[in-house]
Amino acid sequence: MEGEEDYGVSEEEEYFYADDGDSLDGLADNDDSALQWAPPKVSATKVITKESLLAAQREDLRRVMELLSLKEHHARTLLIHYRWDVEKLLAVLVEKGKSCLFTEAGVTVVENLDDDMPLTSSSTITCDICIEDASGDNATRMECGHCFCNDCWTEHFIIKINEGQSRRIQCMAHRCSAICDEAIVRNLVSRRHPDLAEKFDRFLLESYIEDNKMVKWCPSTPHCGNAIRVEEDEFCEVECSCGLQFCFSCLSEAHSPCSCLMWERWSKKCHDESETVNWITVHTKPCPKCHKPVEKNGGCNLVSCICGQSFCWVCGGATGRDHTWSRITGHSCGRYKEDREKQTERAKRDLYRYMHYHNRFKAHTDSFKLESKLKESILDKVSIAEERELRLKDFSWVTNGLNRLFRSRRVLSYSYPFAFYMFR
């Protein structure tokens, strides 16, 4: 850190914000919490591996099944509808009751369905979809009471699975919002497409992560296969067992003390051409004929564009070619364009201010990359030392020290985009 000059503004460099999308004016006064900065929070986390994913899902299913005395597919339908938030599900149950809870989620619980409306091999039904007669062995009745032939059910399930709607496949009947029994879906689809049935099961399993706001996949590349579950606050920074540290809210790299909005704006600013546009604004002026930017490389105030048009560098107005060192024949630019001068000066100050913070940010990120290589070298030496030592020695202090160094370097790096948006 270079002391106070890293954040301070000298008397010779009075910086101003440009009135554009990069400005976060009103950070302190804005009611929008996304624009306000808050220190990164620490939340209890749990790494979910591929092997433990099924167990984690079954634990939540078990809680709902025992509480409401439901079958597994009904409990899954409820949890998917409420994004695997058991606490929210219970709150709706207390506030609105079981009937409303089931209706909103598309759960239909019918007692003794087979006794009331039996389907036998000798019975015949007319499918309302294909308008064909089907025997009871080739037809299926859902718990909502609607019955269609197995061929139509299978086609319906295949289409929905391929469309990515495996988690909530609704009944085919008109205006029926009941969710189909996953066991029936699996049974009918597996007869024709076993691979698609496996895909269906995988989607149901992964819904625990895809639909759960408290669980997210680790964004590592290549993917480590792990997911992270937070127990309290979803706006926090977490670390996967693969070693990757990331922001749980936006899934980008850990960026404290920057908020997610600050980091998103800074990343875009560093990768797009916004500063190139600023440079063009500062150092060039548009040709009044072809409107291409023209840079003045010396000489008097008469500038010629490659299109052949001459114009005055002071006011930007089109002129002829006849001129002296002090004036252009037939042209007077006594009009003072205050807005143009202010805009140019402001763009210049914004450019210098951005470069001040960006250069320091890049210096620390480059150092972070070099230190990462150093870490590998040090850990290799520690491994060799542990093998050679006759007596057991604890070298964990080396690893802990390196981790603290990297964390400090990372926070220091992101303090510059934080200062860029936070301080004026």
Helical segments of 144-216, H only: 150-162, 182-192, 194-210
CB 263 within 8 A of CB 270: no
Contacts of 330 (CB under 8 A, 6+ apart): 319, 320, 322
Q: How many helices (H) and strands (E) does the chain have?
A: 12, 14
Q: How far apart are CA 333 and CA 317, in angstroms?
A: 8
Nearest alpha carbon to residue 328 among 300, 309, 286? 300
Q: Active-site residue among 300, 312, 315, 333?
A: 300
Euclidean distance between CA atoms 407 and 410, whole angstroms: 5
**Is 300 a residue of the active site?**
yes
**Strands annotated E in 42-132:** 45-48, 124-126
Q: DSSP string covering 354-389, please?
A: HHHHHHHHHHHHHHHHHHHHHHHHHHHHHHHHHHH-
Q: What are phi and psi of 5, to 5 degrees?
A: -65, -20
Beta-bridge partner residues of 149: 139
Reading the block at residue 303, the tokens are 């500038």
Question: SS3 string of 394-419?
Answer: CCHHHHHHHHHHHHHHHHHHHHHHHH
Q: Return the active site residues.
A: 300
